[in-house]
Amino acid sequence: MTKTIVILGAGLAGLPVAHYLLSRTAATHKDIRIVLVNPSDTFYWNLASPRIVLPGQLVEDKYMWSIPELFAKYPVDKFEFVAGKAETLSPEDNSVVVRLADGSSRTIAYHTVIVATGADARDNMPWKPLSSSTETREAIAKLQGAIEKAKSIVVAGGGVTGVELAGELGAAYSKSGLKEVTLIVSDALPLERRIMRRTRESALRQLTGLGVKVLVESRVIAVLPGQGSKQTLEISKQAGTKTTIETDLFVPTYGVITNTQFAPASMKDAEGRLAQDSRLRAPGYDNVFVLGDAGNLQPMQGVNVEGQLRHLTKQFDAYLRGAAMDEYKFDSNKIMMGVSVGPSGGTGQFGSMKPFSFLVGMMRKQLGTNYSKDYAAGVRTLFGKW
């Protein structure tokens, strides 16, 4: 009897898992069939989004590919792509209801489901894929046009996306005085507090060197119409004072919305992320696996997605044979991350070490676009070939 494995989400987690199961696991387990469900029919390399949104920096074939074309190499009886969004997951019944692009619904019964639906960026910003390839393209084009016209740009959010975007804008515009670029961060330094201070100080120093003005301990609490086409930002400082900034363009990079609305409330934590056990299962359901940003086991970070998907794919043979699966083990105190600050700079943290800026710059120079096509094709993951 055919074992239907439904994968919800075709992003950085779901897409490579689908490739692996079809190209490797299916050779041993000939009774499996993969159904990949995703709202958009394209795979979007959002890791390069801080550079994608700058006019003239990257062509589309470096960051977006047709999912049906990527999977056309597999037998049609082994794979199906469903363009739609998960609406209701019923783990007790082993089924999921999918809302299709035409507005109709389809119920898909499964032997196993892998939830890899990730998260959306707020305000329809293209830091994550939008509901369709058309919407993603339109959001990119809209922001590119706005950046091109603006003389002053304010980026809000001191996370990785905010720092990388401010760095790209600084290198392209503010370093040479073409545009005024400001980054607003809520803490005393950019990046998360869990990242060591030296790394955060390095990010601040490099941004300043690119001509970016960094406002620390500040939050945007209101965006109001300004004179002409300008926007007026109301800023709250940690000290309790308020001020305003007038800008041509305001770009928020903070906040994500986890795509788990379809799952029962009992499976989610207070933030809406799905619970994961040590084998990446949803507790209480042996045939429901959760990967990446949709799950709550690790912080939302590409390197964590990498570790989880590599572990699960290697354990799937044992799972399908009914054998014991190894636990997914990781050091919750060990931070591995790199942040580009412009095309030639960067900073990061590798455990307890801060790598030299030029090393991170070399590693992150192309924001993964030098191997993104192979990732999309299932040839490799973030850290290399399978």
- The tens digit of pLDDT for each residue in 123-132 reads 999 999 999 9
Q: What is the pTM of this model?
A: 0.95
The average confidence (pLDDT) of the chain is 96
Report percent pLDDT > 90 for the chain: 91
Query: Which pLDDT tens digit goes with each residue over 138-152?
Result: 999 999 999 999 999
**Ramachandran bin of 333, using left for φ above 0, alpha for ψ from -120 to 50, beta for the remaining angles:** alpha
Is the pLDDT at 163 greater than 80? The verdict is yes
Is the pLDDT at 358 greater than 80? The verdict is no
Architecture of the CATH domain 151-247:
3-Layer(bba) Sandwich (3.50)
Taking each helix axis from N to C end, the angle separating 160-172 and 197-209, rounded to the nearest 10 degrees, works out to 20
Identify the top-confidence range among 106-110, 227-231, 336-340.
106-110
Residue 364: per-residue pLDDT: 75
| Alpha-carbon distances, residue 197 vs 90, 189, 203, 231, 322 (angstroms) | 45, 8, 10, 33, 47
Residue 317: per-residue pLDDT: 98
Same topology for domains 3-123+256-327 and 151-247, yes or no? Answer: yes
Residue 232: per-residue pLDDT: 97
Q: What is the mean pLDDT of residues 300-329?
A: 97
Distance CA 12, CA 258 (A): 15
What are the domain boundaries of the chain?
3-123+256-327, 151-247
Give yes or no for a contact between 254 and 162, defined as CB atoms under 8 angstroms apart: yes
Q: What is the mean pLDDT of residues 257-279?
A: 98
Is the pLDDT at 99 greater than 90? The verdict is yes
Give yes or no for a contact between 304 and 324, defined as CB atoms under 8 angstroms apart: no
Q: What is the mean pLDDT of residues 318-323?
A: 98
93 vs 229, higher pLDDT: 93
**Closest of 110, 180, 189 to residue 147, by C-alpha:** 180
Is the pLDDT at 109 greater than 80? The verdict is yes
Is the pLDDT at 134 greater than 90? The verdict is yes
Q: What is the CA radius of gyration of the chain?
A: 22
Judge residue 273's burial from the number of C-beta atoms within 10 Å of its C-beta, 0-12 exposed, 13-18 middle, 19 or more buried.
Answer: buried
H helix or E strand, kind and range, residue 205? helix 197-209
Is the pLDDT at 75 greater than 70? The verdict is yes
Yes or no: is domain 3-123+256-327 CATH 1.20.120.80? no
Query: Which pLDDT tens digit goes with each residue over 165-192?
Result: 999 999 999 999 999 999 999 999 999 9
141 vs 344, higher pLDDT: 141
Residue 218: per-residue pLDDT: 98
**Ramachandran bin of 26, using left for φ above 0, alpha for ψ from -120 to 50, beta for the remaining angles:** alpha
Q: Which two tokens stand for residue 211?
A: 């001509």
Residue 182: per-residue pLDDT: 99
Q: What is the mean pLDDT of residues 270-275?
A: 97
Q: What is the mean pLDDT of residues 33-55?
A: 98
Residue 308: per-residue pLDDT: 98
